[in-house]
Structure 1
Amino acid sequence: MSYLVLARKYRPKTFGQMVGQEHVVQALSNALEQQRLHHAYLFTGTRGVGKTTVSRILAKSLNCQGPDGQGGITATPCGVCQACTDIDAGRFVDYTELDAASNRGVDEVQSLLEQAVYKPVQGRFKVFMIDEVHMLTGHAFNAMLKTLEEPPEYLKFVLATTDPQKVPVTVLSRCLQFNLRPMAPQTVQEHLAGVLQSEAVEAEPQALRLLARAARGSMRDALSLTDQAIAFGGGALQEAAVRQMLGSVDRTHVFRLIEALAAGEGRAVVEISETLRLNGLSAAGALEEMTAVLQRMAVAQAVPGHGDAGDPDHAEVARLAALLPADETQLLYTMCLHGRAELGLAPDEYAALTMVLLRLLAFRPAAATAEAEKKTLNAARPSPEPAAQPVRAPQATAAPVTPPAVSRPAVVASSVVSAAVAPVAPPAPARPPGQVLPVVDPPARAGATAQSPRPQPAGDGAVVGVPVRQQPESRRDASAMPTSFVPSEEGDFWYATVQALVAAEAITALVRELALQSQLVARDEGHWLLRVERETLNQPASRERLQAALKAAGHEVAITIELGPVNDSPARRNAAAAAQRQKEAEDIIQNDPFVQQMMRDFGAKIVPGSIKPI
């Protein structure tokens, strides 16, 4: 006889044998006892939580005939009558299971619905169970809507899905929906203990705890992992063997990591990470275990005394919770949680694990606070240089000045301190000739200057200090920048040359901007002189590229660029032409008889900026 896996051998046969779904069991049991039966049920939940099992138990409850053949609808099927045994064996003619993952078309659904017109052959009700119903096509859903809404009195629909978001609302509104929840690890562990006791298999509680956590709420996964663990351990469940099978990280490594992080020992953190690499333990599992331990530590810090005293890790978690402040625990938890997403981005997951752990060490709030305090103390500490001593010297040598009623003590103090700290001013950087502008007092401050004298620097330069807010901006006189161009003979030639280069895309970006913004001042055989207003355009690379483009266009010349006012450049010509076109377009609109009539009769106005030339 072939071996029957635990997940099938211990599948619940009645509602009383189900674990972890009491809310569903209670609702269905009360409905069956009170004969308040819906015609369509929808069971949702993740894999392995009992959707198909509930469907089969419901079908047995509807068709159970009792041991004596006189039974009726019941919440506790007998399990011995022909209907119950046939449904458990999968050969009951009035119970049909359809796998929508492989039968998702409208033809398969139509074939199923054709059987709805026939009354049950053996049982009391026909039950159509459609598993993974969200896989059906839109046409298949539409084909079953009418029958699903008003089925015959002897027909019941049971739908099951792991993704209810993909089920149309037209189907959801016709069903009674039950959400089967993932099972708690403690519930899974208790059920596994009962199953292994029935199988006479020795198991350590810590091994069952690992299997329950690895199942992640699925009882079928837990039983399948238990089968694998029994085979791996040779008929017994030992914690070390189960941990090795699952690739789980020993909590001892996790406790050592957290203790090293609390103590700020970077060497210990790296060594433990290398130990995980050498043992082939999962990097993601290490962060997951750290997250679980840090969560329990945070709970212990917020609610002292909380937790299961019988848990072997309880004492160690409490000890670590006392080592770390609450804010650091929260920070470590967040970094471990988000660090799991970075493991797949790195070429080596162990290197990524090491970086996450070192980040936990680098961003400790206590270390950051200590570093900030250290910087603050260093900044507040007086400088040991002797130049900081004669601060009072300028006050003794300065001429006595009677300050006015309203003065600027901050500016004067800063000047005195600057003179004391740096008595010898550094030499000014060299500037190109013609670019040095004198610093003068604004005309608006002439009267105030006569009344409130300012401290003069120790030097022979007649430079008057001006407050920062009133310092005039260093820029050219607006009158020196012409707003329109003055046509010239050289400008016509230069405009035609630049337009040809732009049309041929021989110049682009900064080179094109240099050509458009420049004016051809003079030209002779082999040499052209250009003028630009902005020095930023006169770059050696742009100048060389423009010269190369001119050479490619047949102009074997060398160009020289000077700074000065420009009144005839291709850009100014283009702007003047655009302004002329705009003015002509506005004149056309304003002189149009219909527009004038609208303005005269209805007070219409032309929106400024709405007229664009074509």
Structure 2
Amino acid sequence: MSYIVLARKYRPLNFEQMVGQEHVVQALSNALTQQRLHHAYLFTGTRGVGKTTVSRILAKSLNCTGADGGGGITAHPCGRCDACRDIDSGRFVDYVELDAASNRGVEEISQLLDQAVYKPVVGRFKVYMIDEVHMLSTTAFNAMLKTLEEPPEYLKFVLATTDPQKVPVTVLSRCLQFNLRPMAPETVLEHLQRVLEAEAIAAEPGALRLLARAARGSMRDALSLTDQAIAFGAGKLEESGVRQMLGAVDRSHVVRIVEALAAGDGPALLATVDALRSMGLSAAGALEELAGIAQQMAVLQAVPDAANAADPETPTLQRLAGLLPADETQLLYSIAIHGRGELSLAPDEYSGLVMVLLRLLAFKPQGERPQAAPPMRPVAAAKVGTASPMAQSAQALHRPAPAPAPLPQAAPRTAALRAPAAPSRSSSAEIPPWVDAAVPDDAAAAGAPGPAPAAEIIVPRAQPRAAEPAAPAAPALSAAELALGDRWAALVRSLIDAGAIGALVRELAMQGQCVAIEQGDAAQLWRLRVERETLRGGTHRERLEAAMAKSLGHAVKLELEAGAVADTPFLRDMAERERRQRAAEELIQNDPMVLSLMQQFKTARIVPGSIKPL
């Protein structure tokens, strides 16, 4: 006797044996039990999910006569009567299966419909099953519309397709549609276990998990791959053999990739890629496995109780989920998913894989994250780096405004919007303009003298809400720190204007805070504090050092240290832009013509974001 492949040998013979399509089985079973039978059914879904199988079971249910020959329409065909046996063997004369992929013309459909006028020969119903119905031509669809809408009472149509979008709506409206879903890997795994137990074939759980994932929702593909794996393993299924047959990437390699990303270890990352290359494993498969692990990590981070205790990989996934925060896990998943589409554009597959992994490493926040930012400090703006002016403006608009100080009832005070002036060195408690903080009441009430403003717009200061506490003052900068900031900002501006620095070197200068200038024996030492790790690495320091030496006319040594910054050229530029934006908005809002127009037209308003300083 010739060998029967598993996909045919274990094809379900009744609704009870169907797996993964409970919603379709329940609807059809209830319809058969209550005798509420439609004249046309449309089954849609990907390959190998049971469309043809459901059609055959439905035909048996309609024509089953029972083991004693006296049965009627039933949701549980006996499988022993002549009708059931003939339909299973493919020789039932009243059940016709037509492959529309090879019989797509109007002639074939017309020939089929010509037989519809004749009653069933041996069965209760004549069932026409048209597979891949979307392949029919337009004229063939038009030819069957009338019969499909009003067939004889003894005729049932069953249509199956993997692409329902190509089926005309005139056909869809005449059919009862059921969508057979792709099967979950767990469902496929359980079915493979039952099949292999029936076949008395030993299988490792890891091998079955690989086959279930490789099937991608198709039970027929899973059984076909199992047949291939049995032949590959000489009668037994081992994980190593199945992995070699499928060319699947060992999850241990992907685990090492995640560990290297969490540790920021570039050499370990490249070593893992070299190991994948030496074994000839697929780069696309590595990114697919990486995305799968990232998805499972994200689930465990959001719902720790969702871990499957029976899965031997769960402890590893739980450990990996603790290595990365949730936002970096989402970034890891997104870049892995999009990176698969870029592999075809890369010079070769593995150079594309290297670039995707290096992108994950580059976008990973480096260094120690601050636990709490200083009050009212524009930390988000400082971290943007090379953000666009539109993004910087949006950050300035969304930053919470400082709470105003309470006003005396007798003498209302005013708040001034001043042009930038040199900070006073007379008091070390003065807060520089690039620190976004409220001016304390006691300092304003004392009327401490300050530098004469270059321009001033006086606006009434609003009363604060009683429920809102005054914002805490920002950390003060000493006179020495302000002097170093002035000197550094002037030097950076001169370097930028001269075109001596650009790109990331310019970004390093803009994001750095000068904390010390010392005169050494061989060179002048400038010490900068830089918050971003990516700016402190590479050759940026040497290039900035060379540009400073050329501009100052003497040897310069530049030292970089990590830490939060409070006075950088970037923060000063941000403060100046915000000051000019606020001044422009106040100028427009207090303009007499604007106020007159708003009084004249009650619905008139100033569109937010439409005011730009000149």
Q: What is the identity, as a one-letter code, of the residue corresponding to 1:207?
A: A
Q: Which aligned pairs between 1:226-305 and structure 2 lie closer than 5 A?
A: 226-305=226-305
Q: Deviations over 1:178-236 (max 9, x none)?
A: 01011111110000000001111000111101100110110000000000000001100
Counterpart secondary structure, 2:38? coil
- TM-score for both structures, normalised by structure 2: 0.62
Q: What is the identity, as a one-letter code, of the residue corresponding to 2:91?
A: R
Counterpart secondary structure, 1:128? strand
How has the CA–CA distance of structure 1 residues 332 and 405 changed in structure 2, closer, same or farther, with 3 Å as cutoff?
closer
Instruction: Tell me how far apart the structure 2 counterparts of residues 314 and 406 of structure 1 sit (CA, whole Å).
Output: 66
CA contact (8 A) 1:44 1:162 kept: yes
Q: Deviations over 1:492-528 (max 9, x none)?
A: xxxxxxxxxxxxxxxxxxxxxxxxxxxxxxxxxxxxx
For the pair shown, the structure with the greater C-alpha radius of gyration is 1
Structure 2 equivalent of residue 186 of structure 1: 186
Q: What is the identity, as a one-letter code, of the residue corresponding to 2:40?
A: A
Counterpart secondary structure, 2:304? coil
Pairs aligned (count): 401
Instruction: Tell me how far apart the structure 2 counterparts of residues 275 and 200 of structure 1 sit (CA, whole Å).
Output: 37
Instruction: Tell me how far apart the structure 2 counterparts of residues 238 and 322 of structure 1 sit (CA, whole Å).
Output: 31
Shift of 1:407: 5.1
Counterpart secondary structure, 2:344? coil
Q: Percent identity?
A: 72
Structure 2 equivalent of residue 223 of structure 1: 223
Q: What is the identity, as a one-letter code, of the residue corresponding to 2:38?
A: H
Q: Deviations over 1:349-369 (max 9, x none)?
A: 111101111110011134597
Structure 2 equivalent of residue 175 of structure 1: 175
Structure 2 equivalent of residue 115 of structure 1: 115
Shift of 1:66: 1.2
Structure 1 equivalent of residue 365 of structure 2: 365
How has the CA–CA distance of structure 1 residues 319 and 405 changed in structure 2, closer, same or farther, with 3 Å as cutoff?
closer
Shift of 1:309: 1.5
Q: What is the identity, as a one-letter code, of the residue corresponding to 2:34?
A: Q
Q: Deviations over 1:21-45 (max 9, x none)?
A: 1111111111111111110000000
Q: Which aligned pairs between 1:508-587 and structure 2 lie closer than 5 A?
A: none
CA contact (8 A) 1:99 1:132 kept: yes
Q: What is the identity, as a one-letter code, of the residue corresponding to 1:132?
A: E
Structure 1 equivalent of residue 2 of structure 2: 2
Which residues of structure 1 form unaligned runs of 5+? Answer: 380-387, 393-403, 430-468, 470-614
Q: What is the identity, as a one-letter code, of the residue corresponding to 1:216?
A: R
Counterpart secondary structure, 1:177? strand
Instruction: Tell me how far apart the structure 1 counterparts of residues 62 and 306 of structure 2 sit (CA, whole Å).
Output: 46
Instruction: Tell me how far apart the structure 2 counterparts of residues 282 and 405 of structure 1 sit (CA, whole Å).
Output: 69
Counterpart secondary structure, 1:212? helix
Q: Deviations over 1:318-368 (max 9, x none)?
A: 111111111111111111111010111113111110111111001113459
Shift of 1:302: 1.6
Counterpart secondary structure, 2:43? strand
Shift of 1:253: 0.7
Q: What is the identity, as a one-letter code, of the residue corresponding to 1:267?
A: P
Shift of 1:169: 0.8
Instruction: Tell me how far apart the structure 2 counterparts of residues 302 and 16 of structure 1 sit (CA, whole Å).
Output: 36
Q: Deviations over 1:538-582 (max 9, x none)?
A: xxxxxxxxxxxxxxxxxxxxxxxxxxxxxxxxxxxxxxxxxxxxx
Q: Deviations over 1:285-315 (max 9, x none)?
A: 1111111111111121122232112211111
Counterpart secondary structure, 1:157? strand
Instruction: Tell me how far apart the structure 2 counterparts of residues 421 and 119 of structure 1 sit (CA, whole Å).
Output: 98
- TM-score for both structures, normalised by structure 1: 0.62
Instruction: Tell me how far apart the structure 2 counterparts of residues 81 and 348 of structure 1 sit (CA, whole Å).
Output: 60
Structure 2 equivalent of residue 489 of structure 1: none
Structure 2 equivalent of residue 43 of structure 1: 43
Counterpart secondary structure, 1:235? coil
Q: What is the identity, as a one-letter code, of the residue corresponding to 1:37?
A: L
Instruction: Tell me how far apart the structure 1 counterparts of residues 139 and 451 of structure 2 sit (CA, whole Å).
Output: 87
Structure 1 equivalent of residue 17 of structure 2: 17
Q: What is the identity, as a one-letter code, of the residue corresponding to 2:220?
A: R
Shift of 1:2: 1.6
How has the CA–CA distance of structure 1 residues 368 and 355 changed in structure 2, closer, same or farther, with 3 Å as cutoff?
farther
Instruction: Tell me how far apart the structure 2 counterparts of residues 101 and 298 of structure 1 sit (CA, whole Å).
Output: 43
Instruction: Tell me how far apart the structure 2 counterparts of residues 275 and 93 of structure 1 sit (CA, whole Å).
Output: 59
Structure 2 equivalent of residue 34 of structure 1: 34
CA contact (8 A) 1:327 1:365 kept: no
Q: Deviations over 1:442-476 (max 9, x none)?
A: xxxxxxxxxxxxxxxxxxxxxxxxxxx9xxxxxxx
How has the CA–CA distance of structure 1 residues 421 and 210 changed in structure 2, closer, same or farther, with 3 Å as cutoff?
closer
Instruction: Tell me how far apart the structure 1 counterparts of residues 145 and 267 of structure 2 sit (CA, whole Å).
Output: 66
Instruction: Tell me how far apart the structure 2 counterparts of residues 314 and 119 of structure 1 sit (CA, whole Å).
Output: 59
Counterpart secondary structure, 1:298? helix
How has the CA–CA distance of structure 1 residues 421 and 151 changed in structure 2, closer, same or farther, with 3 Å as cutoff?
closer
Which residues of structure 2 form unaligned runs of 5+? Answer: 371-377, 386-421, 427-448, 457-481, 499-579, 581-614
Structure 2 equivalent of residue 76 of structure 1: 76
Instruction: Tell me how far apart the structure 2 counterparts of residues 316 and 3 of structure 1 sit (CA, whole Å).
Output: 41
Q: What is the identity, as a one-letter code, of the residue corresponding to 2:295?
A: Q
Q: What is the identity, as a one-letter code, of the residue corresponding to 1:269?
A: L
Counterpart secondary structure, 2:41? strand
1:152 equivalent in alignment to 2:152: yes
Structure 2 equivalent of residue 436 of structure 1: none
Q: Which aligned pairs between 1:367-446 and structure 2 lie closer than 5 A?
A: 408-409=453-454
Q: Which aligned pairs between 1:309-328 and structure 2 lie closer than 5 A?
A: 309-328=309-328
Q: What is the identity, as a one-letter code, of the residue corresponding to 2:262?
A: A
Counterpart secondary structure, 1:305? helix
Structure 2 equivalent of residue 141 of structure 1: 141
Aligned-residue RMSD, C-alpha: 3.2
Instruction: Tell me how far apart the structure 2 counterparts of residues 73 and 302 of structure 1 sit (CA, whole Å).
Output: 49
Counterpart secondary structure, 1:323? coil
Shift of 1:421: 7.6
1:130 equivalent in alignment to 2:130: yes
Instruction: Tell me how far apart the structure 2 counterparts of residues 140 and 58 of structure 1 sit (CA, whole Å).
Output: 25
1:332 equivalent in alignment to 2:347: no
Counterpart secondary structure, 1:365? coil
CA contact (8 A) 1:254 1:286 kept: yes
Structure 2 equivalent of residue 454 of structure 1: none
Q: What is the identity, as a one-letter code, of the residue corresponding to 2:337?
A: L
Q: Deviations over 1:404-462 (max 9, x none)?
A: 99954489x99xx89x989xx99xx9xxxxxxxxxxxxxxxxxxxxxxxxxxxxxxxxx
Shift of 1:82: 1.1
Instruction: Tell me how far apart the structure 1 counterparts of residues 222 and 233 of structure 2 sit (CA, whole Å).
Output: 16
CA contact (8 A) 1:391 1:421 kept: no
Structure 2 equivalent of residue 384 of structure 1: none
Q: What is the identity, as a one-letter code, of the residue corresponding to 2:269?
A: V
Counterpart secondary structure, 1:54? helix
Structure 1 equivalent of residue 466 of structure 2: none
Q: What is the identity, as a one-letter code, of the residue corresponding to 2:208?
A: L
